[in-house]
Structure 1
Amino acid sequence: MSISNQKVVTMDFKVSDTNGQVLDSSEGAEPLVYLHGAQNIIPGLEAALEGKNVGDFVKVEVVAAEAYGEYHDQMVQQVPMAAFEGVDQVEPGMAFHAESPDGHPIQIIVTEVEGDMVTVDGNHPLAGKDLVFEVTVQDVREATADELEHGHVHGPGCHH
């Protein structure tokens, strides 16, 4: 069975930057399981996997625009420390959930704390980076009706 829309795909993966630094991997962990065509993985990787079969190995460079998007300077802002009411100590590297200007939930990362001002970055940590994926397809199966209705894979006793 080939990978196509509405199929559940199980894969082992490794993702690196273009300098070869490994950023994430399923090695020593469970493989990644996703519903193909439901936008559960980045568009460039999903497109590269279309039509592949169990046992296939795929190595593909995915440009930033087809991965986690381009880096946007306007997503970096300074906000007053008062915006972090209830947090004892705000430090660089801390992550918080916020709302984007268009009302969508986003994760922001604190990049700097200077006096009463905090610099936050709403870009995904991999935004603006081209990525290299190495994937081995482990399984391809039909999605269940529940998985199709919900738009993601269901695992034993829980959701993936």
Structure 2
Amino acid sequence: MKIEPQHVVSLTYDLYVDQDGTETLTESATQEQPLTFLFGAGQMLPKFEENLSSLSTGDTYEFRLAAGDAYGEYDEEAVANLPKEMFQGTELPEIGSILPLQDNNGNRFQAQVVSIAEDSVIVDLNHPMAGQELHFKGSILNVRPATPEELSHGHAHGPDGHHAH
């Protein structure tokens, strides 16, 4: 079956990212634990879906996404100082750890701790893969029409359309 909007796609992928001139495998979805998503629902990177849009069950694929089409270019300005008072009553986070944050509008995002100064914790708000070209290889395991419940919820309920219990 061909991939179309309002269809559920299950696929495998290997994601390679260039690190110091060497392509490194950074993420995978296997046949046992495929990536399953509702196509066209805005959950995936738009260019990722665009590259899959002509495929059908059983097809293999390989494509690259430029940083601008993936998680964006690295933004030097997206570094923030959080006052140490924010961490009163808890231990200060370690450098390299990921903090779940929320802005005044209730939007959730993650920040990586890059350093700790005298009175603040400095965090990088860029996506960990910002500024990187993504190289995907994989195969389409299954394509099926979404169930009415999946369409009303706006996401897939697993490869067969049911929530795992």
Q: Which runs of 5+ in 2 are unaligned?
A: none
CA distance in 2, matches of 1:42, 1:13: 14
1-structure distance, mates of 2:84, 2:32: 39
Does structure 1 retain, via aligned residues, the 8 Å contact 2:98–2:112?
A: yes
2:99 corresponds to: 96
Instruction: Say what the alpha-carbon RMSD is for the aligned residues.
Output: 1.9
CA offsets, 1:40-84, max 9 Å, x none?
A: 221221110002011111100001121112222221112221122
Q: 1:71 aligns with which of 62, 69, 74?
A: 74
Which residue pairs with 1:5 in the alignment?
5
Q: The residue matched to 2:128 in structure 1 has which SS?
A: coil
User: Gaps spanning 5+ residues in structure 1: where?
Assistant: none
SS for the counterpart of 2:77 is helix
2:49 is equivalent to residue 34 of structure 1: no
Structure 1 match to 2:65: 62
Q: Percent identity?
A: 34
Q: Are the counterparts in 1 of residues 8 and 145 from structure 2 also a CA contact under 8 Å?
A: yes
TM normalised by structure 1 equals 0.90
Q: Which residue of 1 aligns with 2:14?
A: 14
| Residue-by-residue CA offset, 1:104-140 (whole Å, 9 max, x unaligned) | 2211111111222211011110011110000200000
Aligned residues: 159
Amino acid corresponding to residue 70 of structure 2 in structure 1: A
Instruction: Specify the SS of the correspondent of 1:20.
Output: strand
Mapped to 1, the partners of 2:120 and 2:32 lie a distance apart of: 40
Matched, 1:154 2:160: no
